[in-house]
Amino acid sequence: MDHVRKQPSRRKTTVWNLVFNYGTFSLTIVRNLVLVPIYLKYIDLELYGAWLATGAALVQMIVSEFGFLGVIVQRTGAAFGARDYRRLESVIGTSRVVVGLLALTVSGIGAAVTPILPRIMHLDGEAASTLMYCFLLIVVANGFDLLGNASGEMLKSLHRPFVPGLSRLAGELLGIVVTVVLLVQGYGLYGLAVGLLSRALLFSASTAVGLAYDCRHRLQLKIGWSRPMFKSLWKDSVHQFFAALAMRLQVYIDPFLVGAVLGGEAAAVYGLTYRALDTVRLAINQLGNAIAPSLAHLYGSGDKALFRNVFDKISSYYALVGTIAMGGILIFNRSFVGLWVGSDLYGGNLLTAAIAIFGVLAIMVNAPYLITTVRGEFRTIAQVLWVSLFVHVPLSYVLLHFGLWGAPVAASFGALLRIYLLGAITFTFFRFTNTDRYDLAKNIFRIFVPCAVIAGVGYVLVNTPERWLVFSLQAAAYIVISMTAFVIFNRKLVSRFIEDMKKTAAAR
């Protein structure tokens, strides 16, 4: 049995998770960016704007994950890391029961809100019917996605990334093909909905089979249902649901408010101008998605010193990539939107600047959020996120009456509050001294300043390109210059990172 249940490499699992995550991300880029001009060709702009503001947004806010995936990752990874196989059997078996009930629940919630969507977006006639039916298809798709994601996250937490990774890649590819075919055939918005449904069906079936096979043949687990575990998982999933709902509201409430206050076309302009940030955050967040199962495993093993070392490193990572990425948005977003869908759908430089500032803050909060999540502090996370949301939403509604820029400005205040509260919780857990806090802040400041200066200079000097080739070359040059400035001003930090990598390689 020991040879079957030997503990795998957290590093290898994280690397493979990253490979599959970025492979899936590349296909997501195709679906969410490359295909948008085709969407606009075959779908009415007002209907597409309503879809961005309600159909896609409400599904993501309400029924996408229900918060349970974070609980699955934490519980499965911690039990596997502690080699508590009896608890692992109970977690996996009971999770499958809970996720089935949640899939039914979230589908019911989505169906219940469907009739009100056209009225909110001031649609009637055929457009109203199309929005409702497409929303219902997405509700069904998200139910299957929830089942597939639950099985996939359990496999990842068991350090088996191949089945969920390959299944997601195949599902994304199938969804893209189905969407394009249906759009060309004249099915309009239904092409997007059916494409996402086909993706979900393939993914959920593949991961369910993979999990059943792995538990039975590799780990030889006797999966069973446990009433105490059911109560515990349900309690944590409720807390994590409210945390996930608050997090999704932080992201998706602004397009909804823009549509409600300023109309569907304004929501389309806002969504298309904001899309660069969505894409960049999705790319950056792949690290957190990839490392979460291994971090939960590490937390379960009890190695707190290494756990803190990882926190220091991911804080520096998010500071670096967040500053460079948002600087890139500040410089290139106008050119990007113009080349992508046309300059008449660009929301303006003021909106872009506000989006970039919010982006830096939103990315920085990922480090304490990730640490708090893998520790299983779901109730604490929910409380923090809802407090920040109560600041964000009313302020956004008020500021939107002065312009589109009001939405990201309000979101920035919410992000600052999350950084403060989750940072304080994380510092307390690791027992940071004042010196520790100062050292971390100094490292982040030394990373931020040179990259921010490069971004400011680039904003002033870079001209708007008229071709994708020139755009790509300018963006590549900006990244190279920013990374060079980072290395020059942070030589000690880079040297320590290289030394850590050498020690890890030597230990292996």
498 burial (CB, 10 Å; 0-12 / 13-18 / 19+) is: exposed
Whether the CB-CB separation of 130 and 188 falls below 8 Å is answered with yes
Whether the CB-CB separation of 482 and 451 falls below 8 Å is answered with yes
Specify the pLDDT at position 60: 53
What lies within 8 Å, CB to CB, of 494 at 6+ separation is 487
Task: Write down the residue that tokens 């996120």 correspond to.
Answer: 385
Chain-centre distance of CA 24, in angstroms?
Answer: 13
63 burial (CB, 10 Å; 0-12 / 13-18 / 19+) is: buried
Chain-centre distance of CA 481, in angstroms?
Answer: 28
Whether the CB-CB separation of 111 and 139 falls below 8 Å is answered with yes
Amino acid at 432: F
Instruction: State the Cα–Cα distance between residues 200 and 171, nearest whole angstrom.
Output: 7
Instruction: State the Cα–Cα distance between residues 63 and 66, nearest whole angstrom.
Output: 6
Phi, psi at 405, each rounded to 5°: -65, -20
Q: What angle do CA 422, 424, 429 make, to 5 degrees?
A: 95
**Share of the chain residues as helix, strand and coil, in percent rounded to the nearest 5:** 85, 0, 15
Specify the pLDDT at position 2: 44
Tens of pLDDT, residues 412-422: 999 999 999 99
Instruction: State the Cα–Cα distance between residues 296 and 304, nearest whole angstrom.
Output: 12
Closest CA to 106 of 153, 66, 73, 156: 66
Specify the pLDDT at position 358: 93
Instruction: State the Cα–Cα distance between residues 271 and 227, nearest whole angstrom.
Output: 44
10's enclosing H/E stretch is: helix 10-29
Reading the block at residue 123, the tokens are: 């649609």
Given a cut of 50, the residues of the chain with pLDDT beneath it are 1-5, 61-63, 504-508
> Using only C-alpha atoms, what is the Rg of the chain?
23
Specify the pLDDT at position 61: 45
3-state SS, 321-361, equals HHHHHHHHHHHHHHHHHHHHCCHHHCCCHHHHHHHHHHHHH
Whether the CB-CB separation of 250 and 388 falls below 8 Å is answered with yes
Q: Where are the domains of the chain?
A: 30-225, 266-508
Instruction: State the Cα–Cα distance between residues 381 and 374, nearest whole angstrom.
Output: 11
Specify the pLDDT at position 351: 93
Instruction: State the Cα–Cα distance between residues 276 and 352, nearest whole angstrom.
Output: 10
